[in-house]
Homo-oligomer: A and B are copies of this chain.
Amino acid sequence: MKIDPATDLELVRHLKASPAKVWRCWTEPRLLEQWFAPKPVVTRDVEIDLRPGGSFKTVMDVPGHGEMPGHGCFLEVVPERRLVWTDLLQGCWRPNSESFGFTAFILLEPEGSGTLYRAVALHRTPTQRDEHEKMGFHDGWGTAADQLDALAQGL
């Protein structure tokens, strides 16, 4: 896919786990809850309706901030290769009343016995991209990717 550095953020990692195991960790709610947010943030009540137009719900308990619900919509689902969703929509394509406003691409490719893992976030504007970077995109998504790989390797 085509990255626009002005509005997009990208994390690229080699993971030791296979694309099949990484995919399971992204798409099975009980697995996703174990790695999705950097600890000590707790992710719970995950709901995944894994189809284009399907709902993607999470709740995060953030120490000092309380409960942060998340509601998105899957746009593309290509097993073990490509998962795309946005928080601009919720399930059945309904516009979200509030959203940060991004589309996320999770792209998996076999690399040796592991996975070339790319997580790309597309934003509405350069300002919003910079805000997401300052919120800790690279550290946050990077730490979560470490947690994901550790979990996936043990499956």
Q: Footprint of B on A, CB under 8 Å? A: 1-2, 52-53, 75-76, 84, 86, 88-89, 92-97, 101-103, 105, 122-125
Can you tell how many copies of this chain the complex includes? 2
A-B interface, 4 closest residue pairs, ranked by CB to CB distance from nearest: A88-B88, A95-B124, A93-B103, A97-B124
Q: In whole Å, how far is A6's beta carbon from the nearest beta carbon of chain B? A: 11
Q: Which of B1, B88, B93 sits near A92, CB closer than 8 Å?
A: B1
Nearest B residue (CB) for A98:
B124
Contact of A103 among B76, B95, B97, B125 (CB under 8 A): B95
Closest to A104 in B: B93
Shortest beta-carbon distance from A83 to chain B in Å: 12
Apart from the given pairs A52-B75, A53-B75, A95-B102, 13 other A-B contacts in the complex at a CB distance below 8 Å: A1-B92, A2-B92, A52-B52, A75-B93, A76-B93, A86-B93, A86-B95, A88-B88, A89-B103, A93-B103, A95-B122, A95-B124, A97-B124
Measured between beta carbons, the chain B residues less than 8 angstroms from A84 are 93
Closest to A100 in B: B95
Q: Report the Cα distance A123→B93, complex, angstroms.
A: 11
User: Which residues of B have CB within 8 Å of A76?
Assistant: 52-53, 93
Distance, CA A97 to CA B6, complexed state (A): 12
Q: Which of B52, B53, B89, B124 contacts A96 (CB 8 A)?
A: B124
